[in-house]
Every structure is written in structure tokens, then in C-alpha cells.
Structure 1
Amino acid sequence: MGNGAKAAQKRERNAAKAGGTAKSQTKANEAAKNIICTVCRQTFLLTTRAPALEEHASNKHSKSMADCFPTFGQ
């Protein structure tokens, strides 16, 4: 058994002792990805700021931010 499996078992045991289940942020992060590039359909988190979206639009598509994200900021 590798160290990763041991760590997972320990997390499960500790969660059971605490009376709950192990919590993962993965599902919450997937639900928060609601900014979508209209050109390539790549998703971005709700908290992504305009400079990062502008960088994506110019580097990946050579377009303006308004072309890739027409609903951003509305």
C-alpha cells in the first residue's frame, strides 16, 4: 500500500471520528465554473478577473475579450 492510500485511509478515519464525511472542494469548484469562452468553450471560475480573460482571448484566439466573453461584466 502506498503512502497516498494510507493518507486517504487516515482522512476517512478522522472524518468518521469527527462524526462527518470527508469534504472535497472539487464539486464546489466545478459548480463555480460559469464563465465560458464562446470560441473554445473553456470554463473559468466565477472569481476570474478581466485581465486573465483578456490574456486568454489574446493569446489563444487573437481576439478581443468581448468576442470571447460577450456576457462578462453584465
Structure 2
Amino acid sequence: MGNGAKAAQKRERNAKDAKKGPTSQKASNAAQMSIICSTCRQTFFVTTKPPQLLEHAQNKHGKGLADCFPSFA
């Protein structure tokens, strides 16, 4: 058995263990968008901090944090 045959066998073994096709993070990112503005229904990541949410509420709607995000406040 030559080196070419060994390389072909190794490629076959590695192909079985390799992932099948490209993976996307789009679905996992969509699942993390759980904070929703009650006024405009814009979604925010679950890791969004209160100052960013307050900035959205004041700049977009002229309201407070509790008005736009009642479940968060």
C-alpha cells in the first residue's frame, strides 16, 4: 500500500467526522431576540443593557423604559 492509498483512506475517515455543510448562526441569533418594544415591536438581544433600552425609548418614542418595555422594568 503506497502513500497515496493511505492518504485516500485518511480523507475518507476524516470526511465521516466532518460537519455536513455550512452552519449559520442566524437561527440562534433569532432565538436570542427576546426583548421587544411594546410600541414599535422592535426586538433586542437578551443581553441588551437597560441604558440602551432607555435610549431607544427616549429617542424613538419620547417615553420611559417602563412604557416601552413593561416586562423588563
What TM-score do the two structures reach when normalised by structure 1?
Answer: 0.71
Amino acid at match of 1:72: F
The 4+ residue runs of structure 1 with deviation greater than 4 A are none
What CA distance in whole angstroms lies between the structure 2 residues aligned with 1:56 and 1:25? 25
How many residue pairs align between the two structures?
58
Coordinate RMSD, CA, aligned = 1.8
* Distance in structure 1 (CA, Å) of the matches to 2:65 and 2:40: 13
Instruction: State, as a whole percentage, how many aligned pairs show the same letter.
Output: 51
Query: 1:5-40: CA deviations, max 9, x gaps?
Result: xxxxxxxxxxxx561032211110011100000000
Q: Measure the CA separation in 1 of the matches of 2:35 and 2:51.
A: 14
**Rg comparison, structure with higher value:** 2
Give 5+ residue unaligned stretches, structure 1: 1-16
- Distance in 2, matches of 1:51 and 1:26, equals 26
Cα separation, 2, equivalents of 1:69 and 1:52: 12
Q: What amino acid is the match of 1:49?
A: K
